[in-house]
Structure 1
Amino acid sequence: MTRRILFIPFVAFAMLFVFASAADAQNSGAERPYYMKKAHWGVGAQAGLMSGMGVGVRYHPLGRFQVQLAGGAISGGEGLAAAVGIEGQIDFDWRDRSRFYGFVGMGYYTNGEEELTLAAGTWEPGKEDPRLDSPFRAGVGLGYEWDISHTLIFSASVAFTYFSEGTFLPLPQAGVYYLFD
């Protein structure tokens, strides 16, 4: 009985030592991945119903974290549609200039009807309210991005999005970015 109790910590320590040695040995001879060589800035277009639509700016410092901001507005007729969002990404795997990542983000979307209906008094009780039911969105998801050329990348992701009115939906997002090297 006593030997069995002493044997378990010894095996656990030996396994920890072997795994730590194997992980260290794999990184010693390899060239540093693209995202570990230096920090990268990118500018492009983002389309998503969770973390913003329009012009996107992203920053990937050394390491596995990236932050991305996206926003835009378009006017048509009397209204102004706008969206702004932020997303934080954690890299799970790198392959040359491609990466698999998880993310968390949030966004605010408006169709401009809030100002038109409330300030101008154009909305009448009994009519359908033209405002968005859930302007705030937040969620988590998984994505993959790959290089189209040396400085151009394409990203696609699925965001499990929570809408402020209580709905959960899996929604696609996509973006094209120019990376500054």
Structure 2
Amino acid sequence: MSSESPLMTSEPPPASSWATPPEFYLDENSVSRSIRRLLTSLGYRVHSPAELYGSRDQALGADDDDWLPRVGQQGWVVLATDFRIFERPHEYEAYLKAGVPVFLMPAESKIEERVALIKVCLPSMCSAASQRGAGVWRLTAHGAEPYTAPAARKKRRRTRET
């Protein structure tokens, strides 16, 4: 992205800007050196599936039902690209039970786009994460926007019908 991109309005906040800065977990679909480098250069702690499971080989293909509770116990904030987790009711339930904040990047985006989105959205990501609890946001050029999962919409419809 060029330096004239509408995404870049100011520098992203360093971890020292927050009383308790969030620690980020990069799921296996969003792990990249560029994203890790950006966040760590700003002083944030970043965790990966390999760290959570002991090695990259052990982490590959871990079920969302397994890693979400582990991440929730640590109090980490998830950066992901897998919108499908919120379409499958059993995985959506695992997410709710884990109580983690999740920030979703467009799955088809390039690494440079993801880095630019994180730079723009980091202030709102940190603010949302400080509320401590489940929530899902989509990272957009205008900031982090609440995301209502299809599984949540289906669940609400069923509740209204009963």
**Scaled by the length of structure 1, what TM-score is found?**
0.20
More strand by share: 1
**Scaled by the length of structure 2, what TM-score is found?**
0.22
Tell which structure's C-alpha radius of gyration is larger: 1
More helix by share: 2
- RCO (CA 8 Å, sep 6+): is it higher in 1 or 2? 2
